[in-house]
Chain A
Amino acid sequence: MRVRCAGARLAVALGVASILAAPALCAQTYLGVDVSGATVHYDGFLSSGALSVSPSLLLVGSGGTLAAQATLLRFQSGHTSVQGVLAGATYLRLGDRLLAELSGEGGSSSYRSFSPFVHGMAQFRLHLLTSRSTGVWAAGEGGEVRYQDVRRGLWTSSAGGWMRVRPALLSAAVSHADVGDTTYTDVQGNLLIERGPLQLTGDAGVRAWSVGAGRGVYGEVGATWWMTDHLALTASGGRYPADPLRGTIAGRYVALGVRIGRRIPSPLGARATHAGSSDVPLDPPAPTTRTAVAEGGTGEAIGTGMAPAVAHFDVNEAPERGDRMQLLHVVAPAARAVEVMGDFTEWRPVALTATGGGAWEVALPIAPGIHRVNIRVNGGAWVAPPGLAVASDDFGGVVGLLPIGNGP
């Protein structure tokens, strides 16, 4: 038992360390506050109206993430509940598909003048990315909870998987927890759907086995509607189970509110828009040649009378042709002439030579660095070659940014 307790304290210490180490350097800061009105019915209590104010802070750094959150609940009775939590995580890549995560969480909650519930825990999690849109994980967690001067060790183990199927993210997990004499096993599924300004969340689960933590089915749904970049309406409701790790009891609720703060990037990678924004293309259009560039850099001319599109463009070193020589290779199947110009040609057009099969090429001396380049087909408009980053050229058109050598 002593060993178990010492282990729990070591886990808490590790958790604190990971919290402190997480934001080695803050790259993104998300500060927000949720204000909502709710009706809540905790198991064993009468239902009550409640006003909730919940500020939150999320720091995303190159060393990890750190989140802090507090919730103040003012019940109809005039009584107040306060919760606070601080959590951090650091990550270590073990390979292209394997990732280790060490995280920690500490928090406290109190209601009226009752003794506060305090928890601290550390978790080690191993992530395996099975593809770009699927993954599995397994985790172990240890820590300690304290209530009324009684300390109890906690241990959990869990495993799960997830799948991104735009616009949805599906996940499922099974977890088992021991907190002192309380033990329970949950099976849970989650769903996240994101469409422009709308985020929908849902989860359903079952506490399949339990001693001292209740059993049964639970589920919640939530919706967030981003009206502007910094303001959203929120609605949520459902039933959630008791959480012996954090000292909350089971309950049902319906809440409506607003969220003020920057939108956190979606795990779906969905476009971060709000209700009033337009879903415009990110890259400026080519000036006159209408080119449909598909994923992978292929394309075709649209309509008649337009210049044929450049389907492919790449540049490779050509040392056999001389010092600093680069071979520019273009695929433009329907072209009669292809020209390129850039800062490496003194902005004079240079004709490419047809090599058959719609391919064109030219070797030019180009020094390492980032170069500005344009291309045109059949004497048409100068456009940015496909596949390059595109920037305004200050003359009403665009240029491609061509990295050579050590450049990106």
Chain B
Amino acid sequence: MRYRLGAALLGLVLVAAPLLAQQEARLDGRVDAATRARLTVVLDSAHAAGLPADPLVNKALEGASKGATGDRIVAAVRRLAADMTRARTALGAASTAELVAGAAAIHGGADPALLNRLRTQRPGASLEVALAVLTDLMARGVPADTATRAVVALVGTRARDAELVAFRRNVEEDIALGAPAAAATVVRLPASAMIVFAQPGVIGSSPSLHQAAAPRRP
């Protein structure tokens, strides 16, 4: 039994090691030797922790192409690895795309606990689009709390990826038309859009719903 387990682990190492080497080879000629050596350490650590190397190498290549210093490149790759670790902790088993999207969301300010809630709402299904929508909303200026709660609410109502995409597009349109990002997000939530219409004296159901928005009469 022990031999089988050992053989399996050895097999995994033999398969994975060339993959890591392949990823590291993408750095050839793109960064100086000292930076390459430091990146190798980071990539090896990430690999040992079970993180995919591809996004980390991408980050290094991005920095190299933009003329960033070695220190800055290594710091950016380390930060991404840390964010991916947090994303994995929040999401549990996740694809590379989910980890990258989750890391971006966390980097943008999303609460990892709410990412975990997304996973529990959609067990076994991909969260890549949901996380990408979340990241996109935050990048457009929606406060992290508002964006995260909006996406959690949508996913919680079993919204499909296409609906999430439509939601993001609607918010984008409203922002382009001049609406502040947070208000556009709240307004575009399927039913909560009515918070706009349901103001006192407008077309809302009950003045009581929105009296908090106006000074209280005694």
Contact = CB atoms under 8 A, between A and B. Distances in A.
A8 interface: no
19 contacts: A28-B186, A62-B192, A89-B198, A89-B206, A93-B190, A99-B197, A223-B215, A265-B195, A267-B199, A272-B183, A283-B140, A346-B26, A348-B65, A370-B128, A391-B104, A394-B80, A395-B73, A397-B66, A408-B132
Contacts of A135: 197, 203
A30 B208 contact: no
A181 B216 CA distance: 29
Given A61-B191, A374-B66, 4 more contacts: A89-B198, A201-B200, A267-B196, A408-B169
A302 interface: no
Contacts, number: 285
Interface of B: 26, 58-59, 61-66, 68, 72-73, 75-76, 79-80, 97, 101, 104, 108, 128-129, 132-133, 135-136, 139-141, 146, 149-150, 152-154, 156-157, 161, 164-165, 168-169, 172, 174-184, 186-187, 189-206, 208-218
A240 B195 contact: no
A87 B205 contact: yes
A65 B183 CA distance: 16
B61 A267 contact: no
Contacts of A282: 140-141, 175, 180-181
A158 to B, nearest CB: 10
Contacts of B128: 369-370, 407
A213 B58 CA distance: 73
A127 B216 contact: no
B201 A173 contact: yes
A32 B203 CA distance: 23
A370 B141 CA distance: 18
Given A255-B218, A341-B65, A401-B139, A269 B203 contact: no
Contacts of A329: none
Contacts of B199: 169, 192, 267
A330 interface: no
Interface in A254-290: 255, 257, 261, 264-267, 269-272, 282-283
**Size band of the A side of the interface?**
35 or more
Nearest to A166: B178
Contacts of A91: 190-191, 193-194
A190 B202 contact: yes
A30 B212 contact: yes
A401 B61 CA distance: 17
A267 B206 contact: no
A222 B176 CA distance: 31
The 8 closest A-B pairs by CB, nearest first: A282-B141, A103-B205, A190-B201, A236-B215, A27-B153, A222-B215, A269-B179, A394-B76
A61 B108 contact: no
Contacts of B191: 61-65, 90-91
A199 B215 CA distance: 10
Given A160-B203, A236-B216, A283-B141, A62 B197 contact: no
Contacts of B59: 394
B129 A27 contact: no
Contact of A36 (B76, B184, B218): B218
A355 to B, nearest CB: 25
Nearest to B199: A267
B189 A60 contact: yes
Contacts of B61: 343, 346-347
A53 to B, nearest CB: 10
Given A253-B217, A269-B187, A89 B209 contact: yes
B63 A162 contact: no
A95 interface: no
